[in-house]
Structure 1
Amino acid sequence: MSTDTLNKEILRGGQFIVKETDCEDVFTPEDFSEEQQMMRESVKEFNDREIVAHRNRFESKDYGYTEECMRKAGELGFLSVSVPEEYGGLNMGFVSTMLVCEFISSGSGSFSTAFGAHTGIGTMPITLYGSEEQKKKYVPQLASGEWFGAYCLTEPGAGSDANSGKTTATLSEDGTHYKINGQKMWISNAGFCKLFIVFARIEDDKNITGFIVENDPENGITLGEEEHKLGIRASSTRQVFFNDTKVPVENMLSERGNGFKIAMNALNVGRIKLAAACLDSQRRVIDTAINYANERRQFKTPIINFGAIKSKIAEMATNCYAGVSASYRAAKNIEDRIEARIANGNTHQEAELKGVEEYAVECSILKVAVSEDIQNCSDEGIQIFGGMGFSEETPMESAWRDARIARIYEGTNEINRMLAVGMLVKKAMKGHVDLLNPAKAVADELMGVPSFGSMDFSELFSEEKDLIARLKKVFLMVAGSAAQKFGADLESHQQLLTAASDILIEIYMAESTILRTEKNVKRFGAASQTTQIAMAKLYLFNAVELINSKGREAIISFAEGDEQKMMLMGLKRFTKYTNYPNVVALRTQIAEKVAADNGYTFD
């Protein structure tokens, strides 16, 4: 670990909402090491050769080819990037695991799902919660691709409420094994996995327990037929039935009743990696749309020259740029926290568990933001293609279908919206993030006389950064007042929480985009970053518009009379520009750059 990492202050998870971040302290793709750049190129080459070139095989539900590609990925070491060396892995940092996940996932949603299920929720629970004996026995085979893993949590009556599962684990009379009985559904990789992570309830325990279960049909394990899905068609998805399946007592994962905690922490990692998996997919959709728009002629001109198309292309590119900026900012924060914990004597297991858990708020933010961006991006891609976009002959149709699942798995976006605010409030209650004093300061400011003095916004991003600081006040105003009014009952006001969460999400994404661009302007010069500056300004403008809408919706849902008037006046003050950007000019500038480059070229 570098001395710089040890010495710099690493913001705790969620602290971005109450603290200012210096641009030098954010990590960007422009900071990739030479080793990471080489890994990126290796993964991209594999993706182009084995995945993208065989899109039709995935679309025709060739499950065998998905398994074949997974084995090839294992042979190249891509399944073992985050696994410690002593268990057959490459032991690369969290940023590198994000990078591999990003670039290996964009060729097919089917392969992306298989890869994510195996490396994340299939392998990771053992590396982070397994005993030494369990890790030595199972992880090397999973890391090499000799075995594949799957994760059995969801049941017909237990989806978002994961701890309500009915699958049981009963200890045998001689105390040597458990008998598992129950039904699991939507199990990715079920058709070719060798190992299941299974969650079941022992007796009347409050919480479920995790088990490592080898897939043996002669041990009471049967599979349902392959599910026929809207997208990710070659991802093996089956129901799994357990009928007196014997599991040795030594295959209990972690401690009895610890399964819910394992499941939730696995989802935290899965959420940020799902965001990564959507990033290069956006680039490929954007590139395909730009290529088509440059070539397709209507009314004797390429359609890229029409303002309506330019607007779509610019928004697609801007959202992708924001997603990349925010994802690697959070990934490096997690990596730094893990390294700091290891330096302070934590084991790899403890450090990674606590490191990721620390940034659970950011993981939920990214899951929501980027999964919705790839859906919107692919939808606009179809629109740019027109009637051709609706045809299976073009890649837009499958891109749209594959993108749709991203808003559902790893916790639905509705759940993650509420989790983001809920976890932030819990961190405040534990003293990890001081929300109370900043919220009180905002309340006092609302009661005071506003300052109408002019400010100097001559420096790059000076107004934008001032605006970000004021947008944080919007969140503190809304969340603080709502928490004070509803107290412990706040969780039941889901529409209010959703609005507050959208404000929180847009602040993190906009700030990350500005900080990345500011950092690169300082080291590369403004002349090389003119389009990135335009994207940062455009994203912030869109964020302000959304925050205005969601802030107003939230305020009028719980405040009345003079309190409501005061808060609405505060909202107007906190979201006001001194110099509004010309958004049409910004979109035109961005679109003309990507049109000239014939693709997205900002990473």
Structure 2
Amino acid sequence: MAIQTVPAGGTFLLGESDPQDIYTPEDFTDEQHLLMSTIRDFVAQEVLPQTAAIEAKTLGLIPELLKKAGEIGLLSLEIPETYGGAEMGIVSGMMLMESASLAGGSFLTSIADHVGIGTLPIVYSGSNELRQRYLPQLATGEKLGCYCLTEAQSGSDALAAQTEAELSPDGTHYLLSGTKQYITNAAFSDLFTVFAKVDKALFTAFVVERDAPGLSIGKEEHKMGIIGSSTCPVTLDKVPVPVENVLGEVGAGHRVAFNILNVGRLKLGAGCLGAMKTAMAEAVRYAKQRQQFGRAIASFGLIQQKIADMAIATYVLDSLIYRTAGLIEAQHATLSPDAEDYDQQVIKGIEEFAVECSIAKVFGSEKLDFVVDEMVQIFGGYGFIEESPAPRAYRDARINRIFEGTNEINRLLIPDTLMRRANRGQLPLMAAVEQVVGNLLAPLSPLTESDDNPLHLEQQMIERCKQAALLCAGISVQTFQQSLAEQQEILGFIADMAIELYAAESALLRTLKHHASGDEHANALRLDMTRSWCRELPEKIERLGANTLAASVEGDALSMPLAALKKLTRVTPVNGVTLKRNVAAAIIEAERYPL
């Protein structure tokens, strides 16, 4: 399925989107369904039987499994055919993350690191010579890769890295010195993407081979979760790296790092999606078996509410993840591979949707935490016992709010990116704010329903909530102007409004796109889940918007926008209990996420 029109990143805030212009799981091709089946079969046959051994950190097991994955093509999905890859696009990468999550966090972390931040820097930023030298071996698993960015004094502040790269007197190589920490796959990787500063200032990315003299790997870290994955420090003591092994350009390492992180954030969301589906299925099966007061606990209303909430959050993330992957893939499809600046345009295409990638990361990691917490609750006391599936899922989920830039950093990035684009004239954000402000005193037309659109009322609600968010964000910008960057709490409120709007709209557009086709039961389930989620949106936006306004203005200056906010978010409540009972009934019958 080809997206008809590729919108600019962030424009979801500024008006209605066409349901036909989004990519959804219902659009998967037969080839993509076959890919997902292949991944799941591999996990079921090769990885799941080794779960205990993986968690016991059996030496050599993870790299052995990764090489097996490489033998059947699972490590090559996003590598160009020219360099031995399958070149199946970023959607296939999402499918790998979602399906590999069935194996649990340890294996998922390991394979995600290799195919993502361990390989893609060379795919996107490597010279042809570097690609020819390394990508065929990374595609098969003959060589495994990792990514060395974090240091003791530079986590979220990556550009504060202290690792140095000194050019040799003969100009043939750089000498890298420094220590990286918390490096996934470090114990067994053959290639290291290392970030260092040339001349103590020019942040640069290098490909470093494991056997380079001066490179050493420290002891495994003992972690709270994902304990079967490798996490070690990497020390570089005047490690010689050929000048040809620079990724991109000297001084342009930030472009390599940040764009790979954008892809990583989206893929992390896909991994969370798969983990949510697995946790929900485990919880539902247990709830149907567990008897209390003479009946299965799955028949109790409050347990059904939990199951419904888990399923609805999963549907929303499912919609959001593949919408975003489809946007990036569609943007890349507009490019000519023969263009001289093709590689730069590919990177720009990823950067275009940086906001949406951050949203996927924050929303996915926090909804997974919600789902595994409810999983423990449904399992009750047994959920606190190690032999149940709940404790490992609970521990493994926690790292996702830290991986790929903490959720706090991503919340700051969302409004910062939007404002920078607005200031450069790339996003008509302030014009949209001025229009909302100009209509403050105008009466609102009543919300209406439509025979042709089963979600017409919810669609209008989302558009009003967008206006409310723009109003509140605009007033905070007007109040603080250049100092808004120091008001992190307000930026967090603005980010959360953007997250809620993108999530709700993604679910709504997906449901509208497919409401007249396919299975009748699936259509009914999609409608119930979308209505339930969207009907809770105005309350969320009113709360976040009120916090934004109260922190930005006071007295008489607060009363008018606060009244407008309440007017824009005022809706008549619906029977959410019935909607969620319908959802729970469908999930309990299927004993899994059925869409």
TM-score range, shorter chain: over 0.9
Alpha-carbon deviations, 1:78-136, whole Å to 9, x = none?
A: 11100001111001122122112211223121111111111111111111111111111
Q: Is the 8 A contact 1:339 1:351 kept in 2?
A: no
Match of 1:573, SS state, is helix
Please say if residues 196 and 205 of structure 2, whose CA atoms lie closer than 8 Å, have aligned partners that are also in contact. yes
Report what 2:456 is aligned to. Answer: 462
Partner of 2:344: 350
Distance 1:452 1:509, change over 3 A: closer
- Structure 1 residues 345 and 252, CA gap change in structure 2 (3 angstroms): closer
In structure 2, C-alpha distance between the alignment counterparts of 1:174 and 1:294, rounded to whole Å = 71
Distance 1:526 1:163, change over 3 A: same
Shift of 1:65: 1.7
Please state if 1:600 is matched with 2:593: yes
Partner of 2:38: 42
Instruction: Give the equivalent residue in structure 2 for 1:20.
Output: 16
Q: C-alpha distance in 2, partners of 1:522/1:431?
A: 39
Q: TM-score, normalised by structure 1?
A: 0.96
Q: How does 1:199-278 map to 2 (within 5 A)?
A: 199-205=195-201, 207-216=202-211, 219-278=213-272
Counterpart secondary structure, 1:13: coil
Alpha-carbon distance in 1 for matches of 2:386, 2:153: 35
Letter in 1 for 2:583: I
Within 5 Å, give how 1:416-495 maps onto structure 2.
416-446=410-440, 448-451=441-444, 453=446, 455-457=448-450, 459-495=453-489
| Aligned position for 1:310 | 304
Indicate which of 573, 587, 603 corresponds to 2:580: 587
| Residue identity matched to 1:501 | A
Letter in 2 for 1:116: A
Q: Structure 1 residue 339 and structure 2 residue 333: aligned?
A: yes
SS in 1 for 2:537: helix
Distance 1:568 1:73, change over 3 A: same
From 188, 191, 196, the counterpart of 1:192: 188
Question: Equivalent of 1:98, from 94, 117, 122?
Answer: 94
Structure 2 CA distance for partners of 1:538 and 1:128, relative to 1, 3 Å: same
Offset of residue 525 of structure 1 = 6.9
Distance 2:428 2:59 in 1: 50
Cα distance in 2, alignment partners of residues 110 and 15 from structure 1: 36
Three-state SS of the structure 2 residue aligned to 1:523 is coil
1:320-371 per-residue CA deviation (whole Å, 9 max, x = no partner) reads 0000001111111110100102379466523421221110010000100011
Give the CA RMSD over aligned residues: 1.6
- 1:390–1:456 Cα change, 3 Å: closer
Query: Which letter does structure 1 place at the counterpart of 2:47?
Result: I
Structure 1 residue 164, shift from structure 2 partner:
0.3
Partners of 1:450 and 1:302 in 2: CA distance: 51
Q: Kindly state the Cα deviation for residue 391 of structure 1 after the two structures are TM-superposed.
A: 1.2
Residue 122 of structure 1 aligns to a residue in which SS?
A: coil
**Which residue among 82, 86, 89 is the counterpart of 2:82?**
86
Q: Does the alignment pair 1:55 with 2:51?
A: yes
Instruction: Letter of the 1:405 partner, please give it.
Output: I
In structure 2, the residue matched to 1:296 is 290
Aligned counterparts of 2:449 and 2:399: Cα–Cα separation in 1: 46
* Contact 1:63/1:234 (8 A) holds in 2: no
Q: Is the 8 A contact 1:325 1:513 kept in 2?
A: yes
Q: Separation in 1 of the partners of 2:313 and 2:337?
A: 36
Distance 1:350 1:334 in 2: 14
Offset at residue 56 of structure 1 (A): 1.6
Q: For the residues of structure 2 that align with 1:9 and 1:481, how far apart are their CA atoms?
A: 32
Counterpart CA distance in 2 for 1:346 and 1:45 is 41
Deviation at 1:509, TM superposition (A): 0.4
Residue identity opposite 1:132 in structure 2: N
Rounded to whole Å, the distance in 1 between the matches of 2:432 and 2:173 is 54
Write out aligned runs for 1:542-557 (5 A). 542-557=536-551
Contact preservation (8 Å) 1:461, 1:514: yes
Distance 1:166 1:44 in 2: 41
**2:393 alignment partner in structure 1:** 399
1:68 to 64, 79, 96: 64
Task: Tell me how far apart the structure 2 counterparts of residues 134 and 527 of structure 1 sit (CA, whole Å).
Answer: 51
- Matched-pair identity in %: 40
Q: Sort the Cα spacing of 1:192 and 1:253 in 2 relative to 1 into closer, same or farther, 3 A.
A: same
Q: Distance in 2 between matches of 1:380 and 1:180?
A: 47
CA contact (8 A) 1:58 1:108 kept: no
Distance change >3 Å, CA 511–CA 452, structure 1 → 2: closer
Structure 1 distance, partners of 2:446, 2:273, is 42
State whether residues 447 and 460 of structure 2, in contact with CA within 8 Å, keep that contact through their aligned partners in structure 1: no
Q: How far, CA to CA, are the matches of 2:320 and 2:116 in structure 1?
A: 21
2:71–2:141 CA contact under 8 A, matched in 1: yes
Amino acid at match of 1:59: E
Structure 2 match to 1:128: 124
> 2:164 touches 2:200 (CA, 8 Å); kept in 1?
no
Q: Does residue 1:536 correspond to 2:530, yes or no?
A: yes
Stretch of structure 1 that moved more, 557-566 or 456-465 = 456-465
CA separation in 2, counterparts of 1:399 and 1:346?
Answer: 46
Instruction: Decide whether the 8 Å contact of 1:81 with 1:92 is kept in 2.
Output: yes
**504 and 120 in structure 1: CA distance in 2 versus 1, 3 angstrom threshold:** same
Change (3 A) 1:472 1:149: same
1:331 partner letter: A
Offset from partner CA, 1:292-324 (integer Å, 9 cap, x none) = 000000000000111111111000000000000
CA distance in 2, matches of 1:316, 1:502: 20
Aligned counterparts of 1:192 and 1:290: Cα–Cα separation in 2: 38
User: Which residue identity lines up with residue 423 of structure 2 in the other structure?
Assistant: M
1:320 matched to 2:314: yes
Distance 1:149 1:480, change over 3 A: same
Aligned partner letter, 2:206: F
Mapped to 2, the partners of 1:231 and 1:345 lie a distance apart of: 45
Q: Describe the SS at the equivalent of 1:586.
A: helix
Quick check: 131-140 or 47-56, which moved more? Answer: 47-56
Contact (CA 8 Å) 1:338, 1:354: kept in 2 or not?
Answer: no
The aligned amino acid for 1:75 is E
**Is the CA contact 1:378–1:396 (under 8 Å) kept in the aligned structure 2?**
yes
Contact 1:81 1:90 in 2 (8 A): yes
Indicate whether 1:518 and 2:524 are aligned: no
* Structure 1: gaps spanning 5 or more residues: none
Q: Could you tell me how far apart the structure 2 residues matched to 1:258 and 1:248 are? A: 17
Instruction: Give per-residue Cα distances to partners, 1:43-67, cap 9 Å, x unaligned.
Output: 1111122223332222222352211
CA offsets per residue over residues 171-207 of structure 1, 9 Å max, x none? 11222211111110000000000110111111132x4
Query: Matched residues in 2 for 1:50 and 1:384: separation?
Result: 29
Unmatched 5+ residue regions in structure 2? none
The answer as to whether partners of 2:97 and 2:274 remain within 8 angstroms in 1 is no
User: What residue identity is the alignment partner of 2:443?
Assistant: P
Superposed displacement of residue 433, structure 1: 1.4
